[in-house]
Amino acid sequence: MNNTAASPMSTATSSSGRNTGKSISFATELQSMMYSLGDARRPLHETAVLVEDVVHTQLINLLQQAAEVSQLRGARVITPEDLLFLMRKDKKKLRRLLKYMFIRDYKSKIVKGIDEDDLLEDKLSGSNNTNKRQKIAQDFLNSIDQTGELLAMFEDDEVDEVKQERMERAERQTRIMDSAQYAEFCESRQLSFSKKASKFRDWLDCSSMEIKPNVVAMEILAYLAYETVAQLVDLALLVRQDMVTKAGDPFSHAISATFIQYHNSAESTAACGVEAHSDAIQPCHIREAIRRYSHKIGPLSPFTNAYRRSGMAFLAC
Amino acid sequence: MASAPGPERDLRLLAGCLPLYPPPPPTVGLLSMEQQETYLELYLDQCAAQDDLTPPRSPLFNPVVPYGMYILNASNPDTAFNSNPEVKETSGDFSSVDLSFLPDEVTQENKDQPVISSRHETEENSESQSPQSRLPSPSEQDIGLGLNSSSLSNSHSQLHPGDTDSVQPSPEKPNSDSLSLAPITPMTPMTPVSECCGIVPQLQNIVSTVNLACKLDLKKIALHAKNAEYNPKRFAAVIMRIREPRTTALIFSSGKMVCTGAKSEEQSRLAARKYARVVQKLGFPARFLDFKIQNMVGSCDVRFPIRLEGLVLTHQQFSSYEPELFPGLIYRMVKPRIVLLIFVSGKVVLTGAKERSEIYEAFENIYPILKGFKKA
């Protein structure tokens, strides 16, 4: 039953013409990324391969939808506006993306002020680079916003709970490390798809598409890929926690994901001997997480077609 | 001073054996110049054992200035002298103390007193690192201050009728009292004083602007000047470089100029002057108006690894840490308005300052926070 969830994805992959076999594999990078997001010290290779599969499929689908949108507009490149348009339904994730774009702008502004060579470069290329992503986002959301709720997001200062949980988990993870381990952890955290931009492009096979994404759109796609991995790890950790039965603890299902690692390390493995090897996330956790995520629960779920359209629930948007 | 013999006597007992000052001067009316000098010299001689510095320069003899001097000499010299050791211990608290009651001239002149500032430094440096060491001192401070404030208020009311406004708030602020008694602490120290370990941020880059106040022919400048590049299609300014101080300048046709790359304020000014000279020699009536430092960048190393995940969690409203984007944590300090880039290795880059003191202040603010997240 679990496998049926995975197989349509793998058939989709092979049927989309990529049967040269994915010579480009991000499995090792994904293993590091999963470690930095909360997985065990050495995540399993099978899990990484499965995660890669999931992320790849979701991104390809996303790209195809974005291409359709830009075709509707009559444009020749996939722009960040198309991706923002696809994400308009989920406010929280959209807000996270916007925050990411602003931080990117801010960081380039600061780094520019520090190095005088950067300053010259920037002056030479024209000073319209400052806050360009912010401007793009603001202009676009301005144009599609009918009810004003999208624009309200710019002033919104609510705490992003998911991000908060991730930060707490990382903090807990790093507290018990020594400096050598911590240095390694920091290196893993710095890995991202945007660092390996060309490999990422080839992995998505952008060259064979008629409508290609531009630079900023590629940045956003790299970010969405990372978000997908992060979401998968979050959900898999929750699933794993659910699978552990703690007899006599009525509130075990209500403990948040941040408590998982803490709880596991505090409790000795002798108490529940099954846990000995389950430090790393297993593929079954990932599959269960996806199954639950795609399964809309609620009285009207059989009648909603929002996600059925693509046959897939996007984790990142 | 005759009105406050009691506390002074007690203080004498407390002080133990201290060298006696010459008797206190008449309390009514201002001291004459000679008397001022005498007391100043005597006071300085006592400090000479600690510092080998020349006495302060003449600005001190401005009658307005030696506010602190009056207080030192006019009140019981024992009191004055006794306050010094206490001040040493509490010097670390100065950062939290409100110095606004001190008149502006005093604080400005204070900057010129190398004696005072170096004493301040030695006090700071001899302070031990842990904040717990400061705990015993407040009790001593209270004793000394209670007595000081009484003698202070007496002397103040007699000597400085004009300054009573500034004096009145002082009894309410015992900390400030100790400061006014003390050799005046400068509000902005001339030399950087770091909280501990003597880590001082080094300036790496200074960006400044100046107005040459005349229209310039960029083509002519580019043709005749050495080390000048001009590509009007790419950018509408001449890029000129000089080797000493090693800087780069962007010169615009409006006459405005941006100078980057200097490592100190003086160097930036000197370099800007050199560029202005070059332009002048080419025949333009260049002037040197509105030289202003726009940005200063400093960097230093705290020499221990920092756990950035903890820092970003506890200081969420100030910091952003996206390791996939940038390996350092971006900390936006509100006061002073400085941006700090904090790296895991312990390196800290400070930027956005308009003055050197802002960088030092920002580093002093962040250092205890970073120590809290030291990765063992």
pLDDT winner (highest mean) among A128-132, A180-184, B117-121, B328-332 = B328-332
Examine residue A308 and state whether it is found in any structural domain, yes or no.
Answer: no
Examine residue A72 and state whether it is found in any structural domain, yes or no.
Answer: yes
What is the residue whose two structure tokens read 């100029």? B257
Q: Which of A120, A168, A178 sits opposite B313 (nearest CB)?
A: A168
Coil, helix or strand for A225? Answer: helix
Residue-level pLDDT at B91: 42
Q: Is A163 on the interface with B (CB under 8 A)?
A: no
Averaged pLDDT for residues B270-292: 92
Residue B259 sits in a domain of what CATH number? Answer: 3.30.310.10
Q: Do B261 and A116 touch (CB under 8 A)?
A: yes
Under DSSP, the state recorded for B58 is: G
pLDDT at A116 over 50: yes
* Residue range(s) defining the domain that contains residue A213: 24-112+127-245+278-294
Residue-level pLDDT at B265: 92
* Residue range(s) defining the domain that contains residue B236: 208-293
Residue-level pLDDT at B331: 94
Q: DSSP string spanning A105-121?
A: HHHHHHHHHH-HHHHHH
pLDDT at B222 over 80: yes
Q: Do A107 and B330 touch (CB under 8 A)?
A: yes
Examine residue A255 and state whether it is found in any structural domain, yes or no.
Answer: no
Examine residue B195 and state whether it is found in any structural domain, yes or no.
Answer: no
Residue-level pLDDT at B67: 46
**Over chain A, what is the mean pLDDT?**
76
Under DSSP, the state recorded for B198 is: T
Under DSSP, the state recorded for B92 is: G
Q: How many domains does chain B contain in total? A: 2
Rounded to 10°, the helix B174-181/B67-74 angle is 90
The model's pLDDT over B27-72, given as tens digits with 9 standing for 90+, comes to 444 555 556 556 666 666 665 555 544 444 444 444 444 444 444 4
One domain for residues B286 and B347: no
Examine residue A147 and state whether it is found in any structural domain, yes or no.
Answer: yes
Q: Which of A119, A177, A192 sits opposite B324 (nearest CB)?
A: A192
Residue A157 sits in a domain of what CATH number? Answer: 1.10.20
Q: Write down which residue in B293, B322, B357 finishes a domain.
A: B293
ipTM of the complex: 0.78
Give the residue from B325, B340, B350 with the most A CB atoms within 10 Å of its CB, the best one to mutate: B325
pLDDT winner (highest mean) among A61-75, A134-148, B63-77, B150-164 = A61-75
Residue-level pLDDT at A263: 52
Averaged pLDDT for residues A261-273: 44
Residue-level pLDDT at B210: 94
Under DSSP, the state recorded for B335 is: T
Largest CA distance in chain B: 83
Residue-level pLDDT at B301: 93
The model's pLDDT over B311-335, given as tens digits with 9 standing for 90+, comes to 999 998 899 998 888 999 999 999 8
Task: Let me know if B78 is exposed, middle or buried by CB neighbors in 10 A (0-12, 13-18, 19+).
Answer: buried
Q: Sort out which chain A residues have CB atoms less than 8 A from B295's CB and list them.
A: 113
Distance CA B355, CA B336 (A): 10
* CB neighbour list of residue A132: distance below 8 Å, 6 or more residues apart: A105, A216
Residue-level pLDDT at B167: 40
Enter the tokens of residue B245: 């101080």
Q: Do B309 and A171 touch (CB under 8 A)?
A: yes
A307 vs A116, higher pLDDT: A116
Examine residue B339 and state whether it is found in any structural domain, yes or no.
Answer: yes
Q: Sort out which chain A residues have CB atoms less than 8 A from B324's CB and list them.
A: 189-192, 194-195, 226
Give the residue from B203, B256, B307, B350 with the most A CB atoms within 10 Å of its CB, the best one to mutate: B307
One domain for residues B288 and B214: yes
Edge to edge, what strands does the sheet with B202-211 contain? B228-230, B237-242, B247-252, B256-262, B202-211, B289-301, B347-353, B338-342, B329-333, B319-320
Give A265's pLDDT tier (boundaries 50, 70, 90).
Answer: very low
Cβ atoms A266, A246 nearer than 8 A: no
Residue-level pLDDT at B332: 93
Distance CA A282, CA B252 (A): 62
Q: Write down which residue in B263, B293, B323 finishes a domain.
A: B293
Examine residue B142 and state whether it is found in any structural domain, yes or no.
Answer: no
Q: How many domains does chain A contain in total? A: 1
Examine residue B39 and state whether it is found in any structural domain, yes or no.
Answer: no
Q: What length is written for chain A? A: 317
Give A203's pLDDT tier (boundaries 50, 70, 90).
Answer: confident
Averaged pLDDT for residues B80-95: 43
Distance CA A133, CA A214 (A): 13
Distance from the Cα of A52 to chain B's closest Cα (Å) equals 18
